[in-house]
Amino acid sequence: MADVTEQDMTTTEQDTAREHSSEHNSEQRQSSRNEERVNRLGTGKVSKLMLEFAIPSIIGLVVNGLYNIIDSIFLGHGVGLVGQATASVAMPVMIVGMAVAMLIGNGGNALVALRLGEGKLKEAEKVMGTTFIMTIVAGVVVTAIILLFMDPVLMISGATELTRDSAHKFLTIISFGLIVLFLGMGFNNFIRTAGDPNRALYTMVAGTLVCIALNYLFVMVLGWGVEGSAWATVIGQAVSAVLVMWFFTVSKKAPFKLRIANLKPKLRMVFNILALGSASFALQISAAVLAFVLNNLLKDYGAMDPITADGAIAAINVVQRVAMFAFFPIMGVAIAAQPLFGFNYGAQYFARVKITFRLAFIWVMVIGVFFWLLVHIFPEQIIGIFGIEPGLVAFTVDALKVQMMLMPVVGLQVVSANYFQSTGQPGRSMLLSLTRQLLYLLPLMYLMPQFLPLLIEGVTPLQSLYYTYPVADFLSIFTAAVLMVFEFKKLNKKISEAKGNFVEKQATELPA
């Protein structure tokens, strides 16, 4: 009897050992697949990888950007002029929140891509852990600042007597959802760097679908107005954040994970993340500054015009939303190219870096031409989606066509800025990010309404505001082109040096 028991125990131990061995082999196979998914960034065909990454990136960014557009559409139809103006007043504050999310998230993602290209997986996971802690802290701090200084913020945003109360309610709710916005938006790009762009897409699509459904329910059915739209936005963003964080904490398919052991920020790593994310931050902050300035100028010049201040703010709010929607696919291509830029630059595959840039530029030009044609063929139908009042249609159409005049080539500046960010050159990336928004557009907004009506008969100061955009676009595109000419010369030199070193090494290794 004792012999049988011992035999049973031996058999049990063998079964347990086989189970452990099977689990170990399964983990090894999964780890190998995950590693292969990342390494293909440096070995796969660039055009195929760009297509694989760009399509979900474009769709994802458009879907993610729909949050603000959805608010504007439902508020326009459900609340009217006050709803449109409220969305416009709240927009600068929301852009500031997005800027902080991109400062930390894009900076951390760029550093992770570089470390993976260098073959430093553990270091990449440490970067991710530091990024997570920075994101949580930033979410708490920004929320506190907005809530404590709400009245001055609304005044700077250009709120009028008609929109102040509704904007206060809207932003209060949005502020409490900033942490989930930071996590969902900041960490979504990590999924692309993990080689899984389709997953990055559906995490955003899920949140947006929830946002659309709840906006309809809360605003159109239940009549909750601006508060309902704000709650719909926060809940949708929370859904995206949960799905993103689940991938990096629970899923076995993530090639690098968010681990408790890595939640100890290192000062040097924090500075590196902030430096690499500074370009994205500068781009968004400059957009927020412009939105603050534009709303106040619209309030001033609109009051001098028959369409009134609130009418001007509501009309240009629609133009900005359409331009933003057209801009998202261009940003999607630039973001899709980021892991390819970072990995191949870190691995010193400079020829692949050049190929990636050329493909990205061609794609953004095609997208730009498409949207340029769209706003010239169907302008009334496009702005009609937002429920714009009939008396504002002519002004809005004119502003839309002028603002998007150089849309076919504006993508060069975006791709160039992302290129410098991804390759560890934050200074140049920040310069390009600042050129259009602050260095060119901001001064033009103050100068052109003063001088353009004197130069062109019939143009009002209010109309002059949207003529500043094509002028700023031209100057920023020229700046980006100059910087990329010098950068391509540097890449060509590195490619030549790499070929020379290879030939010399081959000659040395040949037998005498």
Question: 66, 236 in Cβ contact below 8 A?
Answer: no
Separation between Cα atoms, residue 266 and residue 180, nearest integer Å? 24
| Whole-number pLDDT of residue 499 | 66
Question: 451, 384 in Cβ contact below 8 A?
Answer: no
254, pLDDT greater than 50: yes
27, pLDDT greater than 70: no
Q: For 197-236, write each residue's pLDDT tens digit.
A: 778 778 888 888 888 889 889 888 888 888 888 898 889 8
CA distances from 487 to 343, 348, 379, 418, 496 (A): 17, 15, 39, 13, 14
Global pTM reads 0.65
Mean residue pLDDT of the chain comes to 80
Q: Per-residue pLDDT averaged across 355-383, rounded?
A: 92
504, pLDDT greater than 50: no
507, pLDDT greater than 70: no
Max mean pLDDT among 21-35, 82-96, 331-345 falls in 331-345
Q: For 311-321, write each residue's pLDDT tens digit.
A: 888 888 788 88
Q: For 422-450, write each residue's pLDDT tens digit.
A: 887 878 887 887 787 778 988 999 999 99
| Whole-number pLDDT of residue 505 | 42
Q: Please tell me the least confidently modeled range out of 130-144, 153-167, 377-391.
A: 153-167
Of residues 452 and 185, more confidently modeled: 452
Q: For 29-43, write each residue's pLDDT tens digit.
A: 555 555 555 566 766
CA distances from 392 to 81, 354, 389 (A): 11, 46, 6
Separation between Cα atoms, residue 435 and residue 429, nearest integer Å? 10
Q: Per-residue pLDDT averaged across 132-151, rounded?
A: 88
Q: For 461-473, write each residue's pLDDT tens digit.
A: 888 888 999 999 9
Q: Give me the amino acid identity at 76.
A: G
Question: 135, 222 in Cβ contact below 8 A?
Answer: no
Q: For 54-73, write each residue's pLDDT tens digit.
A: 777 777 667 666 666 776 67
> What secondary structure does DSSP assign to 230-258, as a single string?
HHHHHHHHHHHHHHHHHHHHT-TT-SS--
Instruction: Count the neighbouring beta carbons within 10 Å of the beta carbon of residue 449.
Output: 21
Q: Per-residue pLDDT averaged across 143-158, rounded?
A: 82
Residues in the chain: 512
> What secondary structure does DSSP assign to 285-350, as a single string?
HHHHHHHHHHHHHHHHHHHTSTT-HHHHHHHHHHHHHHHHHHHHHHHHHHHHHHHHHHHHHHTT-H
Give the model's confidence band at 292: pLDDT under 50 very low, under 70 low, under 90 confident, else very high. Answer: confident
Q: Which residues contact 411 (CB under 8 A, 6 or more apart)?
A: 330, 333, 334, 361, 364, 365, 367, 368
| Whole-number pLDDT of residue 405 | 92
| Whole-number pLDDT of residue 448 | 92
| Whole-number pLDDT of residue 29 | 52
Give the model's confidence band at 281: pLDDT under 50 very low, under 70 low, under 90 confident, else very high. Answer: confident
